[in-house]
Structure 1
Amino acid sequence: MDKPGEPRLTSLSHGGGCGCKIAPGVLSQILQASASRLPVPPQLLVGIETADDAAVYQLNDEQALVATTDFFMPIVDDPYDFGRIAATNAISDVYAMGGRPILALAIVGMPVNALSTATIGRILQGGESVCTAAGIPVAGGHTIDCVEPIYGLVALGLVHPRQVRRNAGARAGDVLVLGKALGVGVLSAALKKQALDAAGYQRMIATTTRLNTPGPELAALDGVHAITDVTGFGLAGHALEVARGAGLTVALDWNSVPLLPGVAQLAADGFVTGASGRNWAGYGADVALPEGFSDTQRALLTDPQTSGGLLVSCSPQALPQVLAVFRNHGFADAAAVGEVLEGPARLLVR
């Protein structure tokens, strides 16, 4: 049943969506010793060493298990939409490794004294609708009474060991392709301040609930060398992870980066998230910006993307196939946005 005077979901959380992530510099300090402490069996094909999207464990010669978890606080006030966005974001990490999802487990933390059972139920229904679209069951989960509302999934998938695509496989000469337009963090900041119109909200929901289904088909292409998804650390942060993983320079052509309609003006009007500044503070020393690059452009470069697009590193010869795969899955904004160069592990913006 509904609770009288039930609060807006976003009013119950100090941050929303992937903007809730711990800042990259702080996270690096927290995790810096973990890789050396933990045992690494030979079957663990992907662990935490390059901050990849999911763990991958080889089961046999034909199958490897992709395992990931992702959850966050509300980025929107509509409970059904919140559930859809969170589930789409969680499943994306399976696609980013080249895997096909097989099942999910729900992660639910809710302030039961503040939210009605009907509202909490709608959040779960939103997540279930996305899992249905991905063709997987929600096979279980865990719930707790929590001060802030939290929802997400453990997502499991399968991939052929030879088709695992890490964020560290980029090669010099590769082209970078981005699957979705940027600006989700800006839209969420405007929404939280009640400055986002209905059309902007619909654009935000459309992009954040679009499953990154091209992942497995892209991973099957010989010319695709690396895949990741752009989420809380922004395009700059995740492109920098690709550069660091490969030990190469990633160059972004800023004028080629697609932006969601209206986002540039909203950012210029000051609708940016605190996470954007924290992102820059965490990795800005490894990013070279061109002369005259504005504060607004930098905010967009570091804008946290909730359920963002795939970032693909592929050979120039594979570029037409990569773009065709995106187009066939309905990703009209997919575009070549840069290249991988010989040089130190850094991000160069042109």
Structure 2
Amino acid sequence: FFTPIVDDPYWFGQVAAANALSDIYAMGGEPKTAMNLVCFPLKQMDISILRQILEGGLAKMKEAGVALVGGHSIEDSELKYGLSVTGFVHPQRVLTKGGLKPGDRLILTKPLGTGVINTAIKGDMASTEAIEKVTRLMAALNRDAASVMARFPIHACTDVTGFGLLGHLAEMVVGTGLGVVLRTAAIPILPEAVEYAGFGLLPAGAFKNKEYRAAMVECAPGLDPLIPDLLFDPQTSGGLLIGIAEEKADGLLAELIKKGVAESKIIGEVVTEPYEKIILK
């Protein structure tokens, strides 16, 4: 659970719920039940705000086919909301971050840039169109992507959230002895995020992510220095990052697009060397 990242309470509930449900989808599971987790400043905010947040979360749970079975709430000085989610998956179908194989292609199912645009929102510099676009993107479930993924022999998967694309990809690479080449021109990034990042509107989390994983990342000569910053941008309710064999990748991508996960892209490949490095080209 986390503090509000959008001003509208109902949409905040939707985004927080979608974010919480995403972990189950990333592991190849199907979410079934959830419990609300609430921290609310009763002395500073009207209770009607909490009602709207819970209504937004419940609507997203209903969309996902998830039953709300209870919750925990405490009075706190800062508003926070999220879910504790339980899902089902066959033991032999559990997906993890650690199964990448040489030659695998990497597919990303949502564009990047939510952290940058949320920073612009906090600074009152984001356009109305950008706010609406990023809010709907964050509130979108990874359910359809997961349902398509379930029909394919996936090697590894994670959801892209607070560590950014490069941070979560680094987790997939560490311990495998393999490397990754990313085709940066193929990576979907919200155009507003590129614009705002150019103004210096990068969240603090992007710099923390970069500091922690910078040693694993190598940039091709002449690469725009803004690109790695955007790839370290911490995401809220980001897409799935999927590793699949080369011969299956085009089929998976086609089915994702057919299902409506229209911004999915093949963004890179797994290589045998350099050892546990991510190359940006």
Output the TM-score relative to the length of structure 2: 0.96
Q: Aligned residue for 1:84?
A: 14
> Aligned partner of 2:104: which letter?
D
> Aligned partner of 1:330: which letter?
G
Distance in structure 2 (CA, Å) of the matches to 1:112 and 1:133:
29
**Which one is further off, 318-327 or 267-276?**
318-327
- Where does 1:29-108 land on structure 2 (aligned, <5 Å)? 71-108=1-38
Name the SS of the counterpart of 1:103 in structure 2. strand
The question of 1:180 aligning with 2:114 is answered: no
Distance in structure 1 (CA, Å) of the matches to 2:12 and 2:215:
34
Name the SS of the counterpart of 1:317 in structure 2. helix
Name the SS of the counterpart of 1:196 in structure 2. coil
Q: Aligned residue for 1:313?
A: 243
Q: Structure 1 vs Structure 2: percent identity of aligned residues?
A: 38
Q: Report if the CA contact (8 A) 2:6-2:135 is conserved.
A: no
**C-alpha RMSD of matched pairs (Å):** 1.2
Please give the per-residue CA displacement for 1:172-201, whole angstroms capped at 9, x wherever unaligned.
000000000110011101100111111101
The question of 1:270 aligning with 2:205 is answered: no
Q: Report if the CA contact (8 A) 1:228-1:312 is conserved.
A: yes
The question of 1:250 aligning with 2:180 is answered: yes
Q: Quick one: structure 1 residues 82 and 120, their matched pair in 2 at CA, closer, same or farther if it must change by over 3 Å?
A: same
> Aligned partner of 1:265: which letter?
E
**Which one is further off, 231-240 or 288-297?**
288-297
Q: Aligned residue for 1:219?
A: 150
The question of 1:138 aligning with 2:98 is answered: no
User: Following TM superposition, by how much is the alpha carbon of 1:346 offset from its aligned partner in structure 2, in angstroms?
Assistant: 2.3
> Aligned partner of 2:202: which letter?
V
The question of 1:111 aligning with 2:49 is answered: no
Distance in structure 2 (CA, Å) of the matches to 1:247 and 1:106:
40
Distance in structure 1 (CA, Å) of the matches to 2:3 and 2:151:
34
For structure 1, the residue ranges without an aligned partner over 5 or more in a row are: 1-70
Alignment equivalent of 1:232, drawn from 156, 162, 168: 162
Name the SS of the counterpart of 1:113 in structure 2. coil
Q: Aligned residue for 1:331?
A: 261
Please give the per-residue CA displacement for 1:225-273, whole angstroms capped at 9, x wherever unaligned.
1111110100110111111153311211111101113221111011110
Distance in structure 2 (CA, Å) of the matches to 1:227 and 1:302:
18
Distance in structure 2 (CA, Å) of the matches to 1:93 and 1:256:
25
Q: Report if the CA contact (8 A) 1:242-1:250 is conserved.
A: no
The question of 1:161 aligning with 2:91 is answered: yes
Distance in structure 2 (CA, Å) of the matches to 1:247 and 1:310:
22
Q: Report if the CA contact (8 A) 1:169-1:245 is conserved.
A: no
Name the SS of the counterpart of 1:98 in structure 2. coil
> Aligned partner of 1:322: which letter?
L
The question of 1:207 aligning with 2:123 is answered: no
Distance in structure 1 (CA, Å) of the matches to 2:231 and 2:222:
14
Q: Relative CO higher for 1 or 2, CA cutoff 8 Å, sep ≥ 6?
A: 2
Q: Aligned residue for 1:261?
A: 191
For structure 2, the residue ranges without an aligned partner over 5 or more in a row are: none
Name the SS of the counterpart of 2:174 in structure 1. helix
Distance in structure 2 (CA, Å) of the matches to 1:72 and 1:303:
17
Distance in structure 2 (CA, Å) of the matches to 1:102 and 1:193:
38
Name the SS of the counterpart of 1:74 in structure 2. coil
Distance in structure 1 (CA, Å) of the matches to 2:268 and 2:105:
6
Please give the per-residue CA displacement for 1:2-50, whole angstroms capped at 9, x wherever unaligned.
xxxxxxxxxxxxxxxxxxxxxxxxxxxxxxxxxxxxxxxxxxxxxxxxx
Q: Report if the CA contact (8 A) 1:165-1:225 is conserved.
A: yes
Alignment equivalent of 1:152, drawn from 82, 95, 100: 82
The question of 1:291 aligning with 2:188 is answered: no
Please give the per-residue CA displacement for 1:73-109, whole angstroms capped at 9, x wherever unaligned.
1111111111110100010010000001101111101
Name the SS of the counterpart of 1:101 in structure 2. strand
Q: Aligned residue for 1:341?
A: 271
> Aligned partner of 1:207: which letter?
L
Q: Report if the CA contact (8 A) 1:167-1:245 is conserved.
A: no
